[in-house]
Structure 1
Amino acid sequence: MKATLLLSVLFFTFFFNTNAQERSLFNGKDLTGWHIDVPAMDKDPNLRNPFIIRNGLLVSLGEPQGHLITDAVHENYRIEIQYRFAGKPGNCGLLLHASTPRALYGMFPKSIESQMMHKNAGDFWCIVENIEVENMEKRRGPKENWGTVDGKERRIKNLTDDSEKPLGEWNTMIVECLNDHIKVWVNGDMVNHGFHCTAQKGHIALQAEGAEVEFRKVALTPIKKLTE
């Protein structure tokens, strides 16, 4: 009885402390705490910024393509984003452990992507970083094709086919980055679990990748290392 009570108290304490530490990365007013990297704006700085605030929402307009990147570097955290494709379905992504800018195709920073593309949410994409999963050859293809750069098999398919909400409804993606593990949930379903990640900290980025996406929540909760 005492042991059960103690476990309950410890769980409640952990739960309370974890939730008390959650903080929004988006203030609903402007892009404070973020910076953009949009290659096309190098040649024409008058191009429209693809990341805007509209009706209290953070919106990725999709074009011109690029990334919205946190100023801060983050390590060992849980991030929750609530997003939807309000119009046409398309592509977008949440980049984790982002570092060297424009490391791939002159566009994508070195990172691990948690895919948000409609009907593919939760796929991993390796962008000059690598991560492993169970059943790698089934989910990534023949081993000889694996890699993290152009021409290599960089996609690792998620575990489910029906975790996303219908087009226009809000989805919740939660990603936990802890030590060299990354776990992804979409609307409560665990859709991916990677390990032996080649990076354990970095910036967080959202993409403008051709489709308009609305975000109503982008919140981060620090978590302690397993060894602590």
Structure 2
Amino acid sequence: MPLWLAYRFTHIRLMRQLALLLTCVLVTGFCFGQARPKADQWIELFNGKDLTDWAVKITGHPLNDNYGNTFRVQDGKMTVNYDQYKAFDEQYGHIFYKKRPFSAYLLVVEYRFVGNQVAGGPGWATRNSGAMLHGQAPETMGLQQDFPMSLEMQLLGGDGQRERHTANLCTPGTNVVYQGKLFTPHCVDSRSKTYHSDQWVHAEALVLADSLVHHIVEGDTVLTYSKPQLGGGNVQGHDPALKKDGQPLREGYISLQSESHPVEFRRVAVFDLAPYMNKPAELAAVLRRLRTRK
């Protein structure tokens, strides 16, 4: 058997094992219980004090120009603010955890929307933010680039009246396989509950390299897709040489959005699953423990 074919066969077999394990853990809550997980590998991306480990990129501004003091720490929370803006003017922003990219992980964000949208913000961006997964490095973004090429776990707040799901998927410069087919539209709705007013919401993204991704809200898996890859549109101002359509997304940077509505994050943390990716039984045990943690 040629080496490339042997690798492909091994990769496919491993991905099938991971799919089975995730089904066991996320649906039934248990499986392969004989393996014991190692010590916790939680990384608190936000330290509750400052933005030392973060890089800011706002459309139309160079890297680390935190225009209008958009991103700041207040009362132990990472906050997105517009009190120093006259108008939004499509100045979409992202704050990146800059220390390292991640490949396989469980991301946890606890967020809430507050206050009113800044003048000039688009209607669709009311009570709208997001956690960007597998994103390009912040230093590779163009000056006028609006969004990093990434997978967006879109965070939406209710308006007190209509149903508005959260932890949806949007795909700036990317595509995924959804329900067995290559998904090329920009966004797909989750099946989450609607969270109105300024209540805190606990959202998670379980990302396993370039295989499976689950969006989870308050313990409920609300969206599943697979095979994230570069492709599609919905990103502007990027370097075309970096967008190699069809290239699998195996890792990338995590960032949070500023899209014209104030939002607060009280926790941003990652459990690193990369050490378990070639050890299915251990991975299952770790996921089971994470699934049942208090």
| TM-score interval, smaller chain | 0.7 to 0.9
1:191 aligns with 222
Q: Where do residues 1-228 of structure 1 align in structure 2 (5 Å cutoff)?
A: 8=33, 10=35, 13-14=36-37, 17=38, 20-42=40-62, 47-61=67-81, 64-71=91-98, 72-88=100-116, 90-99=127-136, 101-102=140-141, 106-118=145-157, 119-134=164-179, 146=184, 153-160=185-192, 163-179=193-209, 180-198=211-229, 199-224=249-274, 225-228=276-279
How big is the shift at 1:226?
Answer: 4.0
2:245 aligns with none
Which AA in structure 1 matches 2:205?
A: V
The answer (yes or no) to whether the contact 2:165–2:191 under 8 Å persists in 1 is no
How big is the shift at 1:77?
Answer: 0.6
2:234 aligns with none
SS at match of 1:40: coil
Cα deviations by residue, 1:47-104 (Å, 9 ceiling, x for unpaired): 412100001100012655311011111110101000001234511010001016547x
How big is the shift at 1:135?
Answer: 7.0
Which AA in structure 2 matches 1:96?
A: L
How big is the shift at 1:46?
Answer: 8.2
Task: Select the structure that is richer in helix.
Answer: 2
Q: Percent identity?
A: 24
Cα separation, 1, equivalents of 2:194 and 2:66:
36
The answer (yes or no) to whether the contact 2:60–2:145 under 8 Å persists in 1 is no
Which AA in structure 2 matches 1:30?
A: D
TM-score, structure 1 normalization: 0.78
The answer (yes or no) to whether the contact 1:164–1:187 under 8 Å persists in 2 is no
Which AA in structure 2 matches 1:201?
A: E
How big is the shift at 1:39?
Answer: 2.3
1:4 aligns with none
Q: Quote the RMSD (CA, aligned, Å).
A: 2.6
How many residues are paired up? Answer: 201
Cα separation, 1, equivalents of 2:66 and 2:41:
39
Cα deviations by residue, 1:176-200 (Å, 9 ceiling, x for unpaired): 1103211010111111111011112
2:292 aligns with none
Cα separation, 2, equivalents of 1:36 and 1:84:
20
The answer (yes or no) to whether the contact 1:164–1:186 under 8 Å persists in 2 is no
The answer (yes or no) to whether the contact 2:58–2:67 under 8 Å persists in 1 is no
Cα separation, 2, equivalents of 1:112 and 1:204:
10
Return the index of the structure with the highest Cα Rg: 2
The unaligned stretches of length 5 or more in structure 1 are 1-6, 141-145, 147-152
TM-score, structure 2 normalization: 0.62
The alpha-carbon distance between structure 1 residues 172 and 164, as it changes in their structure 2 partners (threshold 3 A), is: farther
Cα separation, 2, equivalents of 1:21 and 1:182:
19
1:150 aligns with none
